[in-house]
Amino acid sequence: MQRKVYDYSAYSYARKKRNNVKKRTRYETMRFIAVALICLLVGVLLYTNLHKSSKITLVAKKYYAVEVGSYASESTALYFASTIKKRGGAGGIFYDGSYRVFASVYLSKEDAQSVAQKMLDSDLNGKMYVFEFKKTKIDFSDGKTLFLKELANSFTAFLELLLAASLDYDMDSISGSEIMQMMDNTLNDIEAYYEKLTKLVDDEAKDTALHKMQDFLLEQKTVASQLKGGTLDGSDVKPACFDMLLVCERLYSYYGGEE
């Protein structure tokens, strides 16, 4: 009986041919997926261009104030606030169910606690009050994210600049003229922000978030203008710090906090 001889070369070719078919099938599948992904990406880009949006996140913040009294009547709070201002304090008022009067605001908890304790040691009312701003997201309809992010964060940045300058001024490590120069620079920045923001508002007339940001920017300008020109001392800086704190509080409250 003659032994059957297998043609391995033919088998090898057939196997390669089958593998090539599989490779082509795999390639075609990958090409289909790639085309689908490109189409999806193009669709996303088209949608983004038609529906621009900028979601800005404001990080959570804490500021520490020294409270000197809490009153049911606004007129009483105003009276004591004016007394605090005459003594060189902030004389700021914040309402959260009662009218709280404040002498100063600080970046650090330790500074606020130290000042409050010194007031208690001098038989004066003084306790720390924490202003806490929760993480907040702002959804603008315009897509200029970098500018809007810088703008939205400029408010707390300016507040922190003021608070640092106020503390340095109390420690005689910065002069009134240096603070006024800071305000000149800040006002120039605010003017530039406002000009650019106005153009966005004109283009996005229905974006209430942009419109409201204009209002807050004008409030910031008012605070900076308080410390511009003439002579300047600590009794000017502390009220400006508290005014700017309230601007930031209203900004965070308006756009809404999230847990």
Q: In angstroms, rounded to a whole number, what is the distance separating the alpha carbons of residues 59 and 220?
A: 19
Write down the pLDDT at residue 77. 96
Q: Can you say whether the dihedral through the CA atoms of 35, 37, 42, 47 is positive or negative? A: positive
The pTM score is: 0.76
Give the pLDDT means over successive 10-residue stretches in the chain (259 positions).
39 41 50 50 41 78 97 96 93 96 97 95 93 92 80 95 93 89 92 91 76 93 86 81 97 78
Write down the pLDDT at residue 143. 65
Write down the pLDDT at residue 219. 96
Q: In angstroms, rounded to a whole number, what is the distance separating the alpha carbons of residues 183 and 72?
A: 35
Q: In angstroms, rounded to a whole number, what is the distance separating the alpha carbons of residues 222 and 211?
A: 17
Write down the pLDDT at residue 145. 82
Write down the pLDDT at residue 108. 96
H or E stretch covering 95: strand 92-95
Q: In angstroms, rounded to a whole number, what is the distance separating the alpha carbons of residues 38 and 102?
A: 59
Q: In angstroms, rounded to a whole number, what is the distance separating the alpha carbons of residues 229 and 184?
A: 9
Residue partners of 237: CB distance under 8 A and separation at least 6? 162, 165, 166, 169, 179, 227
Residues written for the chain:
259
Write down the pLDDT at residue 31. 52
